[in-house]
Amino acid sequence: MALRFSIPRITTSLYPADIMAVLIAASLPWSTSLPAIFVGLWLVALVPTIDIDSFMRLAKRPICVLPVAFFGLALVGTLWSSSPWNTRLYYVGPLAKLLVIPLLFYHFQRSTRGVWVFAAFLVSCSLLMALSWIVAVEPRLALRADAYYGVPVKNYIDQSQEFALCTIGLAYMIVQQWQNRQPLRAVLLAALAVAFFTNMTFIVVSRTALVTMPVMLGVFVFLHLNRRNMIAVLGTVVVIVTAIWFASPSLRERTATIFTQYHAYETSNEVTSAGMRLEFWRKSLHFFRDAPLIGHGTGSVRELFVEAAAGQTGVSAEVIANPHNQTLYVAVQWGAVGVIILYAMWLCHLLLFRGATLAHWVGLLVVVQNMTTSIFNSHLFDFHEGWMYVLGVGVAGGIVLAKEASMSSITRQSGNPA
């Protein structure tokens, strides 16, 4: 008997869930409450369309098991934490978003509208970038009273994350349009990428983005360009960055503060941004050594810093609930077990996006960005960056899984006798 592999049938009932996913992506750069509302509505639209058997087969794969296991560890970790119960449960919440990843895989494995979500995010970020230029000239047009220069909503870290993702993400589309002999489209997309990059250069950019963008660009050059084009692109980038470096006082200032703040921390224990990070990392390593296997439990970080700050002065007296490093944040609360699950999840999601399509590139870029920025922040736990990861990996992963299923079906059928 011939073996057959059937792809879940796409039905019109998926359409409301597609619209909700688009609205999540479109609202994410602007709000925190709206994406949460649209996620709830997306779940309501999705649940009636789920085939339990199909979903359970997908849910057994490591790409789904590990995000769920991470959330489960945070939940179980409340049992050995010494913090108050309301604190323990509060710190379980940020990981609940990981439960959405398997559902996104399942939905966009059946839907053909995943690209809509990418487009919605790009268009929304483009509008935000245009408003950023306007607000830099006329601050009164910002959507919040205490807005930072050139940041109409939220904060400059979130904005830099979005713009960096769009800038490097567009590189793939530019190359594809050029190779497809669509030079006008390629030039227009390149102009948009330059607009994002110029905004970060002359308006505002986070130091995290300054470090992570070269990594993301390096991944693109290595994966998608031949040697001749690689040399040409890298040479062009060096020329552009050099010119911008001398033209942008803001960029030079953001970079210089890293070294001046570190020097102030080393010589006088002064409270600076860079100094606090180093102090938080040093103390976090000490906390990890005290409980290396399963950590101190969910929600324990702030309590540990309070104890360590007793009788201290300067930066050593600072107290925080997040050490601004994803690995250390996980290690303090859940020890080596948590770190293994975190890195296993990142690795499985990276391996999922080995390919040359737009979905492969978007998914890979989202994971790489999250991993590199998490050196300096705990972005998986943050609302904005965490949902960028969940939405990017979930939607791109669903598209990739659908393509894999289609190729597998064709291969199996072509190998069978007529």
Task: Average the pLDDT over 42-51 and give the result.
Answer: 93
Model confidence at 270: pLDDT above 60:
no
98-107, 253-262, 326-335, 399-408: the lowest-pLDDT one: 253-262
125-139, 144-158, 238-252, 292-306: the lowest-pLDDT one: 238-252
The model carries a pTM of 0.86
User: Quick one: pLDDT band at residue 175, thresholds 50, 70, 90?
Assistant: confident
Q: Which of 166, 80, 86 is nearest to 127 (CA)?
A: 166
User: Quick one: pLDDT band at residue 10, thresholds 50, 70, 90?
Assistant: very low
| Mean pLDDT, the chain, integer | 85
312-346 confidence digits (pLDDT tens): 767 677 778 888 899 999 999 999 999 999 999 99
Q: Compare 49 and 142 and report the one with higher pLDDT.
A: 49
Q: Which of 16, 14, 103 is nearest to 54 (CA)?
A: 103
User: Quick one: pLDDT band at residue 176, thresholds 50, 70, 90?
Assistant: confident
b/e per residue 7-39 (b: at least 16 CB within 10 A): ebeeeeebebbbbbbbbbbbbbbbbeeebeebb
Q: With pLDDT > 90 as the criterion, what percentage of the chain qualifies? A: 54
52-66, 226-240, 284-298: the lowest-pLDDT one: 226-240
Task: Average the pLDDT over 282-286 and give the result.
Answer: 91
> Is residue 234 packed enough to be buried (19+ CB in 10 Å), middle (13-18) or exposed (0-12)?
middle
Q: Compare 210 and 16 and report the one with higher pLDDT.
A: 16
Q: What is the signed CA dihedral for 409, 407, 68, 349, rounded to 10 degrees?
A: 160
Question: Which residues have C-beta within 8 Å of that of residue 340, sequence separation ≥ 6?
Answer: none
b/e per residue 78-106 (b: at least 16 CB within 10 A): beebebeeebbeebbebbebbebbbbbbb
Model confidence at 57: pLDDT above 60:
yes
Q: With pLDDT > 70 as the criterion, what percentage of the chain qualifies? A: 82
Q: Compare 209 and 127 and report the one with higher pLDDT.
A: 127
Model confidence at 214: pLDDT above 90:
no
- Give the chain's length: 418
User: Quick one: pLDDT band at residue 415, thresholds 50, 70, 90?
Assistant: low
Model confidence at 284: pLDDT above 80:
yes
DSSP string, 246-289: HH-HHHHHHHHHHHHHHHHHHHH----HHHHHHHHHHHHHHHHH
Confirm if 71 and 289 have CB atoms less than 8 A apart.
no
